[in-house]
Amino acid sequence: MSNLLPTIESFAKGTVATAAGLGTVGVGLLFFGQNYLIYPSAFPPGSRTEVPVPTDFDLPYQDLTLNTPDGVKLRCYLLTQRKELSNHGAKHIPSSEEETDEQFAARRPTILMFHGNGGNVGHRIPLAKVFYVRLRCNVLMLSYRGYGLSEGNPSEKAGIRIDAQCALDHVLSHEYLSQTPIILYGQSIGGAVAIDLASRNPHAIRALILENTFLSLPRLVPSAMPVLGPFAFLCHQKWDSASKVTSIPAETPMLLLSGVQDEVVPREHMQELWQLVQKRVPRRQRDLHAEEGSDGLKDESIKNPGAGAAKYSRFVEFNAGMHNDTCVQQGYWSAISEFLDSLESIPPIPPAKA
């Protein structure tokens, strides 16, 4: 895997912090121009026109165009697994001669990648390469609207939430990827996108991997833009992960990866998210609660599920990790590899009761 790290390090140095551009103007811009501050898709310069492709990194891929329900075209990358990979360092997965590439891909995990708020999807290809080559996962790299070569303008409710659902729906309707365990990987604001999507599709998501994400954007404003902290209530782009993460059943494993030295998202955000992850309620207990009603709850563990409800989840901190270089810290990819391997022995989330 060492040959992959130089390209990842280049990625880390070249990406943009989640709060890039915040703190430059006043209260009026916070309210009226916050979309431009929160989603600096044109930064660094050239990000809307110069988008690297996977073949630049010796990766086979499909140039995938997704059409959202509101008529926006998203230019994404889809990397599906093959039995044999020529890339040096590719993990060996046993396969029979009769097995086709499609059948092989159908039994490997599928990663939906949700990137941070700066740059474009092409800047994250080094990360996709590790998932594809080292960990032998299928990878769908979503390019949000208004980013890279995708059409439209980014926003939360009328934008990126729709884009994420469109990407998931594509996998769920795919001929063979629909058979795979679907894992969401989100960095920074991409972590909020992943949490939101999983909260709306708990039956479809096998697991989440979240790196350096936040509790909500309004709660991030005081640290990202201290002078505007008192006016955080004006932030209409919420991405309220704190309220949504607990609606994801405890049977859905989560891996939280936190850079202790994160200069954009304070460490406390990831620590508090981890506390909330541990308070999630198992699906079985949710069903009991629904049957009995809030006043007739039989199972006391739903009131205080404790760490047992998150026994399949993990929280890993990297002492030297900053916002954009946590992914190159020692132990980062081994933590992800171990987490993915552990999913094979964890029972999937039970279906909702009819």
Region of 46 (left: φ > 0; alpha: ψ -120 to 50; beta: rest) is left
| Domain around 329 | 2-345
pLDDT value at residue 166: 98
What is the count of structural domains for the chain? 1
Model's pTM, two decimal places?
Answer: 0.87
User: pLDDT by residue (tens digit) across 192-210?
Assistant: 999 999 999 999 999 999 9
Is the residue at 353 inside a domain?
A: no
CA distance 153 to 211: 25
**Mean of the per-residue pLDDT values of the chain:** 86
CA angle (345 as vertex; 186, 194 as ends), nearest 5: 15
pLDDT, tens digit (0-9, with 9 covering 90-100), for 248-297? 999 999 999 999 999 999 999 999 999 999 999 886 665 555 555 544 33
pLDDT at 123 over 50: yes
Residues 12, 24: Cα–Cα separation, whole Å: 24
Q: Would you list the DSSP string of 194-231?
A: HHHHHHH-TTT--EEEEES--S-HHHHHHHHSGGGGGG
**Is residue 160 in a domain?**
yes
Q: Is residue 352 included in any domain, yes or no?
A: no
Q: Closest Cα partner for 134 from 254, 15, 5? A: 5
Work out the pLDDT band at 335, boundaries 50, 70, 90: very high
According to the model, what pLDDT value does residue 87 have? Answer: 77
Phi and psi angles of residue 19, each rounded to the nearest 5 degrees, phi first: -95, 25
- Give domain status of residue 21, yes or no: yes
In a domain, 58, yes or no: yes
User: What are 214-238's pLDDT values in tens digits?
Assistant: 999 999 987 766 555 555 666 889 9
The Cα 235–Cα 101 span in angstroms is 47
pLDDT of residue 297: 36
Report yes or no on 350 lying in a domain. no
In a domain, 333, yes or no: yes
Q: What is the CATH number of the domain that holds 261?
A: 3.40.50.1820
Which range among 75-79, 176-180, 248-252, 288-292 shows the weakest confidence by mean pLDDT? 288-292
Confidence of residue 99 (pLDDT cuts 50, 70, 90): very high
Task: Report if residue 73 sits inside a domain.
Answer: yes
